[in-house]
Chain A
Amino acid sequence: MVAAKSTISLCLVIVGALVLPAGLRVINRFAPAAGVAPSYLPSIEQPRVREPFDEATAAQLRESRPDFVVIGDSMAGTRIVPGHISRMVGGRGVAALLYPGSSVAYWYLTFKNLVANNPPVRAKAAIFFFRDDQLTLAFQRVTPGSLDRVARDQEPVLDRVLAANALGTFAGVHRAVQSAYHGERTREWLAPLLAQAPARIVAPGEDPKTFLESMNTTQFSLETLRKTTVADLPESTEESLDFPGVVGHSLLPEIIRLSETSGVRVAFIRVQRRPTADGPPPQSAALVKYVHDLREYLAEHGAYFQDEWGDPDLPLSIYGDGDHVTNDARIPYTEHFFQKNRRLFQ
């Protein structure tokens, strides 16, 4: 009798743990719903509030109609001076579409929505700066909302690629949990409430959202961080360096396809990571093989590729923190880059 009762009580606890969270769906009905829209990544996200598309930059590009566009993260940001390239190519327009901490999903959308499909923009080339295996890491640095500013309302290609990469074997379980409980939807309104609650106490007269933004931009800006943190030194894994195994699930084929349909040539510059005092940075055999395969793949598809690794003109002295180049070295680097890739600008 006691055993039967114990079994029932065990079942009740398990059922409670699994069924009660479904109450989130009911709570969500009473929650603030402003701005909730279906995600552009419906396979991996529930409807949520999103940041609007960056129309201002799109309009600016339509007006300036640059001939060359530089796309990337802080690797390009600390190396390239767009105005200087512009002067070297006789005043032709060069735009920089850079976002610190971004990765290939962000670059793909930037290229697609701001350059290739943004008439009358008709760039001759889009130049992507990347490190090691970044071009085939579809999910790197993708977090909810991180792509909002460059995403249109529907992004079926990106959705398909990310869904194929999402969360490995158990993607279906994660999706089922989200679809059963609508937890992401609750998170949309509850997480900001929690984050803002202490701000309301600490700075009662101030808008909590403004307070948090100001705190992040002043107290935790890049300038305030330790060099080791700013350096941002990701490392590759054995799996990610299997080029034939990963390229099919990456966004690289989509960038190439977009290049072919739009007529915008694409160029990929693999920046040299921080060298040692004795020479270029060491590379694993797997990374050497990866770069070799990447080079062949891009050549086969008519894309431009430049590997900076081992360039004697890029010594340790021009590097600041991590893989970034010092501010003083930006102009010399830009000139060196232009000279080395002159044919790209013809």
Chain B
Amino acid sequence: MIFHSLDFLAFFIVTLAAYWSLPMRGQNLLLLAASYLFYGWVHPWFLLLIFATTFIDYWSARNMARRPEQKLAWLWLSIITNFGMLGFFKYFGFFAENVAAVAASVGWHVPPAAFAILLPVGISFYTFQSMSYTIDVYRNHAAARTSFVDMAAFVSFFPHLVAGPIMRATNLLPQFERERRFSAAAARDATVLMVWGFFKKLVIADNVGVIANKVFALESPEFPVLWAGVFAFAIQIYADFSAYTDIARGVAKWFGFDLIRNFEHPYLAASPSEFWHRWNISLSTWFRDYVYIPLGGSRVGAWRVATNIMITFLASGLWHGASWNYVLWGAYHGALLVIDRMVGSVWSPTDRARRSLRIVQVPAMFVLTCIGWLIFRETDLPQLIHHVQLNPWGASAPGVLTGSYLFLLALLYSVPLWVQDLWAELHGPDLSAAIERAEALVSWRRTAAQAAVCGVMVAAIVVLRSQAALDFIYFAF
């Protein structure tokens, strides 16, 4: 089931009405049933996978608590099962294809795998979330839970199930274990968040997505056209992914849950390390805590730190998809971070100089991010090489005009996004931060502003939603 469908609207209203009429245990059971309905709506067999993940991790954690001397073995069971499922459903085709290619290069022709494996949507998100629970139990950061219903509801919680944010057991599980009370103030702010999310998805992401798709359908776009397409994709992926997070957070809030913020105006970052503190925060902190730090993190020598960064980012790239361009994208960002650290170790400007430099650094970082998005979006490697070799000065006049037109059109659709981000950065707290203070006293001026903004955004959705209904990009991961 997808958020931007009337199926979901009906599902949401019915579930919500039933939810607030039940006691806590009943609420958790209802959330579990609703989440399984949500996830199995199109492909009911996906439920077997999520159930298997949940059961293995629940059982592993229980056994870690019962037999502390076997903790490591149970942890390995959880890790192997989760990575095994992820590896089979997400990477088997990629692996088989590459083995066949390597064999062919030495004259041994292996027939490609005869079956295609359907990637279960959201599997990368819920396996990571569920695995974080067993790792945290192993590390004694969390207690092994006795209630299977709570655990299953935690793994499958539908608002963020298919595209995050990836929640930690230490954060979300306790929310399932305490009484929740309906708060009209939280529901009001959640409504604003959801409407803003739908606006970003249907008006901004889907409209600029059409531009990006158009450009990336070209055999050999000229330089300005290509980069206008990359710019459009940069807007699309941010609007699309952050829209999903906003809707997820809004929906969760209606049910009395708080999901973490996943984006902090990433295109206003002034350096690669700042970018990763602002972009897909739940994933980057997952890799930091469960890959980078166990590898030694920053407490080792400079070369080891660089190696740790590269390993973490290569893994993060591969997490996004079974394709070499994602690995390259990870390597690219890893390299940027390594360079950033090297520069930081030999040059530390004063605070004043740092503030002045931001004017240059933020656009420069945005350009570097866009180069990364080119690698991310272009799944055809020969085509990517062709793009990288394009001569900026060799474009024809129609090419320049077309590129300029597409860039301005993408910019036009993204104005609300930039305004919101700049406003939040300069004036704060932004809309999302305000919602963190959900129980704030009612301010009629604020309510009026929220009602007006919601009305305008709904009108914009009714009028300007894209004719091309595109899936959320991160559903593919």
Return the chain B residue nearest A220 by Cβ.
Answer: B214
- Looking at the complex, which one of A10, A190, A225 makes contact with B219 (CB distance below 8 Å)? A225
User: What's the minimum C-beta distance from B367 to chain A, rounded to whole angstroms?
Assistant: 21
- Contact in complex: B452, A20 (CB < 8 Å): yes
- Looking at the complex, which one of A6, A8, A20, A24 makes contact with B183 (CB distance below 8 Å)? A6
Return the chain A residue nearest B408 by Cβ.
Answer: A198
- Contact in complex: B401, A215 (CB < 8 Å): yes
Chain B residues whose C-beta falls within 8 Å of the C-beta of A195 in the assembled complex: 409
Chain B residues whose C-beta falls within 8 Å of the C-beta of A16 in the assembled complex: 450-452, 454-455
User: What's the minimum C-beta distance from B31 to chain A, rounded to whole angstroms?
Assistant: 22
User: What's the minimum C-beta distance from A53 to chain B, rounded to whole angstroms?
Assistant: 23
From 192 to 244 in chain A, residues with beta carbon under 8 angstroms from any chain B beta carbon are: 194-195, 197-199, 201-203, 211, 215, 218-220, 224-227, 229
Verify if B387 is at the interface (C-beta below 8 Å from A): no
Chain A residues whose C-beta falls within 8 Å of the C-beta of B218 in the assembled complex: 219-220, 224-226
Return the chain A residue nearest B456 by Cβ.
Answer: A20
CA distance A187 to B405 in the complex (A): 21
Verify if B463 is at the interface (C-beta below 8 Å from A): yes
CA distance A285 to B47 in the complex (A): 26
**A19-B464 in contact given A6-B183, A10-B187, A203-B401 (Cβ < 8 Å):** no
CA distance A201 to B183 in the complex (A): 48
Chain B residues whose C-beta falls within 8 Å of the C-beta of A194 in the assembled complex: 409, 412-413, 464
CA distance A239 to B113 in the complex (A): 27
Verify if A36 is at the interface (C-beta below 8 Å from B): no
Chain B residues whose C-beta falls within 8 Å of the C-beta of A317 in the assembled complex: none
Chain B residues whose C-beta falls within 8 Å of the C-beta of A174 in the assembled complex: 6
Verify if B371 is at the interface (C-beta below 8 Å from A): no
Verify if B364 is at the interface (C-beta below 8 Å from A): no
CA distance A16 to B412 in the complex (A): 25
- Contact in complex: A226, B219 (CB < 8 Å): yes
Return the chain B residue nearest A20 by Cβ.
Answer: B455
- Looking at the complex, which one of A2, A21, A170, A219 makes contact with B459 (CB distance below 8 Å)? A21
Name the prevailing secondary structure of the B interface residues: helix
- Contact in complex: A6, B462 (CB < 8 Å): no
User: What's the minimum C-beta distance from B471 to chain A, rounded to whole angstroms?
Assistant: 16
User: What's the minimum C-beta distance from B40 to chain A, rounded to whole angstroms?
Assistant: 16
Return the chain A residue nearest B225 by Cβ.
Answer: A219
- Contact in complex: A10, B188 (CB < 8 Å): yes
- Contact in complex: A6, B402 (CB < 8 Å): no
Name the prevailing secondary structure of the A interface residues: helix
- Looking at the complex, which one of B217, B399, B463, B467 makes contact with A229 (CB distance below 8 Å)? B217
- Contact in complex: B184, A3 (CB < 8 Å): yes
- Contact in complex: B185, A24 (CB < 8 Å): no
**A183-B462 in contact given A16-B455, A220-B214, A226-B218 (Cβ < 8 Å):** yes
Interface string of B430-449 (1 = CB under 8 A from A): 00000000000110100110
Interface string of B201-221 (1 = CB under 8 A from A): 000000000000010011110
Verify if A33 is at the interface (C-beta below 8 Å from B): no
**A2-B442 in contact given A9-B184, A9-B185, A10-B188 (Cβ < 8 Å):** yes
Chain A residues whose C-beta falls within 8 Å of the C-beta of B448 in the assembled complex: 12
CA distance A203 to B398 in the complex (A): 10
Chain B residues whose C-beta falls within 8 Å of the C-beta of A284 in the assembled complex: none
Chain A residues whose C-beta falls within 8 Å of the C-beta of B452 in the assembled complex: 16, 20
Chain B residues whose C-beta falls within 8 Å of the C-beta of A14 in the assembled complex: 191
Chain B residues whose C-beta falls within 8 Å of the C-beta of A191 in the assembled complex: 463-464
Return the chain A residue nearest B195 by Cβ.
Answer: A17
Verify if A173 is at the interface (C-beta below 8 Å from B): yes
Interface string of A1-36 (1 = CB under 8 A from B): 011011111101111111111011000000000000
- Contact in complex: A13, B447 (CB < 8 Å): yes
**A21-B462 in contact given A2-B442, A202-B405 (Cβ < 8 Å):** yes
CA distance A215 to B219 in the complex (A): 16
7 pairs, CB–CB < 8 Å, chain A vs chain B? A9-B444, A17-B457, A169-B7, A173-B6, A215-B402, A220-B214, A224-B220
- Report the 9 A-B pairs with minimum CB-CB distance, sorted nearest first: A20-B455, A16-B451, A198-B408, A183-B462, A6-B184, A17-B454, A21-B459, A170-B6, A10-B188
A sample of 10 more A-B contacts (CB under 8 A), given A170-B10, A194-B464, is A3-B184, A7-B184, A12-B448, A13-B447, A17-B457, A20-B454, A194-B409, A198-B409, A203-B401, A225-B219
